[in-house]
Amino acid sequence: MAKDYLNFTTPLGALEWVTITGTGKKRYDPTNKLDDSPKNFQYMVNIIITKDEADAIKAEFLKFWREFKPAGATKQTYELVKEVMVPVLDEAGKPTIDEDGAKITKPNGKWMITAKTGVLGFKDKPTVVQVYRPNLDKYGKLVPLNLGGKEIGNGSTGVLHCKIGINAFGGNEGLMCYLNGIQLLKFVERTDSEEPTGADLGEGDLSGLDEIEGLDEDVSTEDGPQI
């Protein structure tokens, strides 16, 4: 009988693209068959680790896989611990493309684990990914941290508390990393400071836009355009 899960805490590492509140991110859907219902969305985070850490973790995961893999399964069909790949740039600093139109990439010496959990959990109850303080309490327990509505941004560091489970789906067997919580050491607040930029298109043919009420009004404010 397969073991349900392996408790796992990552090494301390840099956190990237943390999404643990709101609607989450839609599950990978190459066939575009999933609708926009909450059951098809996930919370997720990437953590960056070293090669030595990655090698040790891969050995631990492989031992778990070999002991509890589904009957008839051989090797895992995908890697849970992945080497970070970056684009190969040309002299102008632009990504290079191969003969099939795909971007050419190379490893950057870092490794990554992605932890995920569904926005909806048991009996479709909303999932809460708990954030914790760096220090334990006097009883050795994790202490919840209230971020007060702020979000964790790139540049933050910490560890991920996870469960490693078995993916027994035929043809896609492997391991899954379920996110339970994030224990922060360094907090950098996420900011969405990048705004769209563009050129003034002038007052030429408005192609039907001139029929929109209020188009000629100045709608800009210090807080941005009013929509």
Token representation of residue 6? 């392996």
CA distance 209 to 212: 6
* pLDDT at position 208: 43
Specify if 150 maps to a domain: yes
Specify if 105 maps to a domain: yes
Contact present, 119 and 41 (Cβ < 8 Å): yes
* Residue range 87-128, pLDDT digits in tens: 999 999 999 999 999 999 999 999 999 999 999 988 889 999
* Residue range 132-190, pLDDT digits in tens: 999 999 999 999 999 998 999 999 999 999 999 998 877 888 999 999 999 999 999 99
DSSP 132: E
What's the start-to-end Cα distance of the chain, in Å?
57
* pLDDT at position 123: 85
CA distance 227 to 225: 6
Specify if 54 maps to a domain: yes
* Residue range 132-142, pLDDT digits in tens: 999 999 999 99
Specify if 159 maps to a domain: yes
CA distance 226 to 186: 35
CA atoms within 13 A on the CB side of 150: 14
Q: What's the pTM value of the predicted model, to 2 decimals?
A: 0.79
CA distance 225 to 218: 9
Contact present, 15 and 154 (Cβ < 8 Å): yes
Count the neighbouring beta carbons within 10 Å of the beta carbon of residue 68. 16
Specify if 58 maps to a domain: yes
* Residue range 196-207, pLDDT digits in tens: 444 444 444 444
Specify if 216 maps to a domain: no
Specify if 212 maps to a domain: no
* pLDDT at position 3: 64
Q: Work out how many domains the chain is built from and give that number.
A: 1
Which range marks the domain in which residue 135 is found?
A: 5-89+97-186
Task: Provide, rounded to the nearest whole percent, the portion of the chain with pLDDT above 90.
Answer: 67
Specify if 208 maps to a domain: no
* Residue range 42-77, pLDDT digits in tens: 999 999 999 999 999 999 999 999 999 988 889 999
CATH number of the domain to which 102 belongs: 2.40.50.140
Position 107: which residue type? P
Residue with token string 């408005």: 206
